[in-house]
Structure 1
Amino acid sequence: MKRQLGIAFAVALATALALAGAATAPPPTSAQAVSEKSASAASVENGKELYDRYCAACHYPATTAKKIGPGLKAIYVRGKFEDGTPVNDQTMRRWIEKGGKNMPGFEKILKPQQLADLLAYLKTL
């Protein structure tokens, strides 16, 4: 009987500790959610400005038609570059930084946050 009580107590204690741990991280407040959404919107807006400055001369944003470089509409949705490389943040970042056949690299021009903002914008196309 003592053994069963000890086991029941241990299970109850473990459950209480687990629940207490889960309760220590409160869900984000609506103000936090709005702030994160605003930061995301600001990132996309900054990315659009960078796109207009550095990319728009060679890439159409609203079509897949080629200008000098390929059109970028739905580039993330399409899932592959013209050469078959998968489109994801890592490959897109590398392409922008290093450039390509007819594209200059922007590694020394764009700061990491600017590149992140540009990627955020490209995902909206």
Structure 2
Amino acid sequence: MSRSTVSILILLAAFGLSGCDADTQSGGLVGSTMQNIANEALLGAEITRVQCGSCHYLDKTVRKVGPSLQGVYGKAPRTRGIPVELWNETTLDAWIENPTGVYPETRMKIPGIKDAEKRAAIIEYLKQL
């Protein structure tokens, strides 16, 4: 989905939901829907779906080939053996750049993403999941 399409959807949702009585600050249905729409407008959303979505779910806690990335930021790795206590900006950046450099025994045998801006966008998106 293009960024302009997402922006239009955000505006339509904001106007359409502005008359609702639901409290968007408390995380009710309207608040969570608006947050999901805003998250998908992030640059990292598209990059993450393209780079990570074939092996990882982003919107479910179900495992694909790799573990779900929903709620991963700020948590300990779900896969045993990864020498990381907590997924944060530093550890995620190192992992996304070179997974086998962090944990040579990983099944995630990809070359990694060398572009620092793409990695930063992915991490910002993962913070919101």
TM-score, with normalisation over the residues of structure 1?
0.57
Shift of 1:63: 2.1
The alignment of Structure 1 onto Structure 2 pairs a total of residues equal to 82
Gaps spanning 5+ residues in structure 2: where?
1-37, 101-105
TM-score by length of 2: 0.55
Percentage of pairs with the same residue: 31
How do 1:5-84 residues align onto structure 2 when only pairs under 5 Å count? 45-77=42-74, 79-81=75-77, 82-83=79-80
Q: Give yes or no for the alignment of 1:102 onto 2:107.
A: yes
Larger Rg: 1
Corresponding residue to 1:121 among 111, 115, 125? 125
Q: Please name the residue that 1:89 is paired with.
A: 89
- CA deviation string 1:67-103 (max 9, x = no partner): 01100111014x1012362111111111111124222
- Segments of structure 1 that go 5 or more residues without pairing to the other structure are 1-40
Mapped partners of 1:91, 1:123: distance in 2? 13
1:107, CA displacement in angstroms? 3.6
- What letter matches 1:55 in structure 2? C
Task: Give a deviation string over 1:52-73, Cα, whole Å, max 9, x none.
Answer: 1110000001222210110011
User: Cα 1:52–1:107, aligned 2, differ >3 Å: closer, same or farther?
Assistant: closer
Higher relative contact order (CA 8 A, sep 6+): 1
